[in-house]
Amino acid sequence: MAKLGEYSAKRRFETTPEPKPEVRDGAGGPLLFVVQQHSARQLHYDFRLECDGVLLSWAVPRGPSLDPNDKRLAVFVEDHPYDYGSFEGVIPPGQYGAGEVIVWDCGVYSPDEGGTAFGDRVEAQRRVREGLAAGKLSIQLRGEKLKGSFALVRTKDAKTWLLIKHKDRFAGSHDLEAQSRSVLSGVEAKDLKVVPVRRMPASRLVPGGALAAMPAPFAPMQAETGTMAFRDPGWLWEPKLDGYRVLVYVDQRGVRMRSRRGLELAPAFPRLAAELLQQGPQDLVLDGELVAFDADGRPSFNALQNRFQLKGEREIAAADKGAPTLFFAFDLLHFAGIDLRRMPYADRRRHLAQCLLPSPLVQLVHADEDGPTLEQAALASGFEGVIGKRKDSRYEAGKRVPAWLKVKPVQSAEFVIGGYTRGKGSRESLGSLLIGYHDGDELRFASHVGSGLDDRSLAELEARVQPLRTRTCPFATKPVTNGPATWVKPELVAEVEYQRWTEDGSLRAPIFLRLRDDIDPRTVRRSEPQSPADAPRAPVREAKASPATAKRARGGPAEPRAKARATRGAAATPDDPRIADVLVQLEQPKNTLELAVGAERIRLTHLDRVYWPADPALKQPALTKRDLLRYFAQVSPLILPHLADRPLTMIRMPDGIGGQRFFQKHWDQARPAFTRTITVFSEHKDERHDYLLCNDLPTLLWLAQSGTLEFHVWHSRAKVGADSLSKSTDFSSSLEALEASVLNYPDYVVFDIDPYIYSGKEAKGAEPELNTVAFEKGKEVAFALRELLGEMKLEPIVKTSGKTGLHVFVPIERTLDFDDARRVSELVSRHLLKRRPKDITMEWSVQKRTGKIFMDHNMNVRGKTLNSAYSPRGVAGAPVSMPLSWAELEKAHPLDFTLTSVVKTLIQKGDRWADVLERKQDLERALGSKHD
């Protein structure tokens, strides 16, 4: 206790919260260093080094510096107990050193003159004692803020020392004083007056415990699939990198880089291996991701695969120089004789931030508690998504566990290739893959996948599958395929994007992404997404507060935006906080702004551009893009169920209804990462095209920003359900596959009632304009159609087209294909024509339609579209295609339902959603928008 006598004499422990004077003994592992920021009478930094059970301490008035030319005064003061290393709090007034104390930095250290000794405490402490006695101690620090070699040099005064940075790659002129937050709690010293700090034992600050031998290579821990990022004090989030998972082993023998399949990668990346060797010479094991970048500086799995193809030393050296591959570390599993795998992830993460020595090719992955915000930043940077990790989770080598969750805008997983079917045209030799997953010792079939296969991937796949052909089906149960199957040995792994698993155990809308040679096919298992509610919770022993968290603790802005982010990717609901958030943002007078829609960001421009000019006759003011965005935000819970999962055709009018119009089926320009597409085979050109899907609020608003005034959708959905005869989601491999897919089965039979009764104001050859006489005659025919369908025990549903016509729907189970639906519509229409030959026509000649109602049964064709319910129309008056009850139709006029009146009718009251939701449910049944 004599070592701490001076420390004890200066303090009254019944008053101060500082640790009592106890000497630590029997510890193992590397030595601790701590730098504490101390707001006493004058702000200063306390620099402390563990040695012989106590913390040797120096007061550094201006704090450490990374500039070798900046020699900082360091006054030797009394030894402190080891437990002082984690002390954060307020020393009361009247006590010695009164003021706030935070742990500004901490980590491991070792004398480094003649080499380091992180793994040998006895040797390290002996060299510390000798250096201090000689008046010069050179040490290597591995902390979060301080890294590299430093020297403590004694002056003529025994108590006066200088703290000096040695020249190495960590030297520089960085402003360390600007880094004012604690590395433990995340707070600033001034925050301690209002923010309580939960202390942890000092023994957790650095790796410690019994020494263990360097482990033999093992398999990495893997994450389950999550549905969305969330905030929880018991979790941390990292960006999900698009590369190869690698475990790095460094020791006296050199560097080994092992892939998930156990392949040795170090020879293929000599420059990276050389930088990883600098992490030694003490033994350590890192878990991380190998990442390559494209010409634009974005992560590129394709660039990484190309890098792996290089074999010659000259080629590899050139690639290392021109397009280097980086290693991003996200876990530390062994360091200096300490096995960290049984430690909580929060501790391992802290030790990784301390012990890793970053270099140009070796980097630390960022981590944060704010999952939604980090996800948005990760996607904007070109990463795949985020990984959530429970802070108290241990490292379970070779296991896939729910304590880690991977979250991406769309789901993807690895599947084993068990065969393929033939296609048509350029895809004749390989139309779609047959993929599955292991369930125990059996291979279960999951899906066909034809979308995503381009010329390059097809050529590679054909070359890879041919040597694996076999007569034996590898699946436990022989699947029903969309054509003759060729079986292959289950030795190849494909990464496949999909929307979700269906009730019958198939993949919804699968898209081939790439082959994964780094994954052992025997390890491929089915993974179910976990929602935040299902994510395992645990008591949090440590909660490192972010600046935003600290602000909320002091009474700052808190939850509305956070709650909005938590709904990322979900369909909008009446109480969706994102809607109110969007409307508030649109109140800003700016003509350009970045709109936050939950976790997504949409850059809005030209918000005051007029889309519908003022129309005095209709008493309609000018309506702008801002008004369109407001409308879509407010009606999003109603319109999205009618858009979801349906291939979308857009009518874009970026300059308003008086400017150019673009009829756009396929979106070939750049688009945000949150948008979704499906690939559909074109029967006319033997091509494949990507169609946009509008399934969520961010996509709806982004399309509005892009000048989409009208939304036209297919009559079928790319979604398998209980009512669908087809379970196939292969829309792209061939015409036969498309015809056998769920997209060939509509949700309803449609009757398009199109008046050809002219107002007299139309230009020669133009379509009829909206006029009351025509619309009233259309209503008359619609009621006659309803009467006829009623005789067949069918109850149809009706909506205005938004222009002159009406759309009548008869909902059906998805057991009839488009040809069948077209025949039904034609038969019923011809029967109605016989009853009302003076009012109705089915003639194709426009001249012969004049004065009558045209019944167009050919709208029941795959690929034909009608404007969606609640879609605006790009004509004067800003009308909206409006679902109606038959009682409402009796008195209705199309201009009763406009961009402004619909919102007023449906949304202005506090209980505005009750009647609307009832109508929405009726219409969903009609339009087939049921959710599984």
Q: Which residues are within 8 A (CB) of 887 and not within 5 positions of it... i.e. 6 or more apart?
A: none
Q: How many CB atoms lie within 10 A of CB 539?
A: 7
| Whether the predicted pLDDT of 776 surpasses 90 | no
| Of the candidate ranges 357-366, 507-516, 700-709, the one whose mean pLDDT is the lowest | 507-516
Structure confidence at residue 867 (pLDDT)? 93
Calculate the CA 273 to chain-centre distance.
31
- Residue 534: band (very low, low, confident or very high) from pLDDT cuts 50, 70, 90: low
Active centre residues (catalytic): 240
Residues paired with 259 in a beta bridge:
246
| Whether the predicted pLDDT of 762 surpasses 80 | no
* 864-918 pLDDT tens trace: 999 999 999 999 889 999 999 999 898 888 888 899 888 766 644 333 333 433 4
| Whether the predicted pLDDT of 151 surpasses 60 | yes
926: part of which helix (H) or strand (E)?
Answer: helix 913-927
Beta carbons of 206 and 107 less than 8 angstroms apart: yes
Cis peptide, bond prior to residue 281, ω within 30 of zero: yes
Q: Which of 160-164, 311-315, 658-662 has the highest mean pLDDT?
A: 160-164
CATH topology of domain 411-523: OB fold (Dihydrolipoamide Acetyltransferase, E2P) (2.40.50)
Q: Where are the alpha helices (DSSP H) in 226-327?
A: 270-277, 301-308, 313-322
| Whether the predicted pLDDT of 471 surpasses 80 | yes
Structure confidence at residue 908 (pLDDT)? 40
State how far the Cα of 454 lies from the Cα of 448, in Å rounded to an integer.
16
* 807-863 pLDDT tens trace: 999 999 999 999 999 999 999 999 999 999 999 999 988 888 888 999 999 999 999
* 328-355 pLDDT tens trace: 999 999 999 999 999 999 999 999 999 9
State how far the Cα of 466 lies from the Cα of 392, in Å rounded to an integer.
47
Structure confidence at residue 932 (pLDDT)? 33
3-state secondary structure of 922: helix
- Residue 550: band (very low, low, confident or very high) from pLDDT cuts 50, 70, 90: very low
Structure confidence at residue 559 (pLDDT)? 31
* 251-282 pLDDT tens trace: 989 999 999 888 899 988 999 999 999 998 88
Structure confidence at residue 894 (pLDDT)? 83
| Whether the predicted pLDDT of 163 surpasses 80 | yes
Q: Do domains 222-407 and 411-523 have the same CATH topology?
A: no
Structure confidence at residue 219 (pLDDT)? 93
Where do the domains of the chain lie?
Answer: 2-204, 222-407, 411-523
Q: What are phi and psi of 902, to 5 degrees?
A: -60, -45
Structure confidence at residue 723 (pLDDT)? 87
CB-count burial class (<10 Å; 0-12, 13-18, 19+) for 594:
exposed
Q: Which residues of 866-893 are buried (b: 16+ CB within 10 A; e: fewer)?
A: bbbbbbbbbbbbbbbbbbbeeeebeebe
Q: Which of 493-507, 697-711, 875-889 has the highest mean pLDDT?
A: 697-711
| Of the candidate ranges 36-40, 80-84, 563-567, the one whose mean pLDDT is the lowest | 563-567
DSSP code of residue 579: H
Calculate the CA 31 to chain-centre distance.
39
Structure confidence at residue 691 (pLDDT)? 92
State how far the Cα of 409 lies from the Cα of 430, in Å rounded to an integer.
29
DSSP code of residue 365: P
Structure confidence at residue 194 (pLDDT)? 64
| Whether the predicted pLDDT of 447 surpasses 50 | yes
Beta carbons of 385 and 407 less than 8 angstroms apart: yes
| Whether the predicted pLDDT of 929 surpasses 60 | no
* 391-416 pLDDT tens trace: 999 999 999 899 999 988 777 889 99
- Residue 625: band (very low, low, confident or very high) from pLDDT cuts 50, 70, 90: very high
| CATH code, residues 222-407 | 3.30.470.30
* 854: amino acid identity, one letter: F
Beta carbons of 512 and 453 less than 8 angstroms apart: yes
288: part of which helix (H) or strand (E)?
Answer: strand 284-291
Q: State the pTM of this model.
A: 0.55
Structure confidence at residue 767 (pLDDT)? 81
Structure confidence at residue 763 (pLDDT)? 77
Question: Both tokens of residue 390?
Answer: 């429970």
| Whether the predicted pLDDT of 551 surpasses 70 | no
Structure confidence at residue 916 (pLDDT)? 36
Residues paired with 390 in a beta bridge:
235
| Whether the predicted pLDDT of 237 surpasses 70 | yes
In order of 33, 197, 201, 228, the CA distances from 349 in angstroms are 17, 20, 16, 22
Question: Both tokens of residue 336?
Answer: 């200096």
Pairing of strands 840-841, 853-856: parallel
| Whether the predicted pLDDT of 1 surpasses 80 | no
State the Cα torsion 577-578-582-584 to the nearest 10°. Answer: 20
Q: How many CB atoms lie within 10 A of CB 79?
A: 23
State how far the Cα of 447 lies from the Cα of 433, in Å rounded to an integer.
8
Q: What is the mean pLDDT of the chain?
A: 86
State how far the Cα of 570 lies from the Cα of 187, in Å rounded to an integer.
34
Structure confidence at residue 905 (pLDDT)? 65
Q: Is the dihedral of CA 489, 491, 497, 498 positive or negative?
A: positive
CA-closest candidate to residue 56, choices 77, 30, 31, 28: 77
* 400: amino acid identity, one letter: R
* 278-316 pLDDT tens trace: 998 889 999 999 998 877 777 887 788 778 777 777 888
Structure confidence at residue 921 (pLDDT)? 44
Half-sphere exposure of 597 (CA within 13 A, CB side): 27
pLDDT (mean) for 558-582 = 56
132: part of which helix (H) or strand (E)?
Answer: helix 121-134
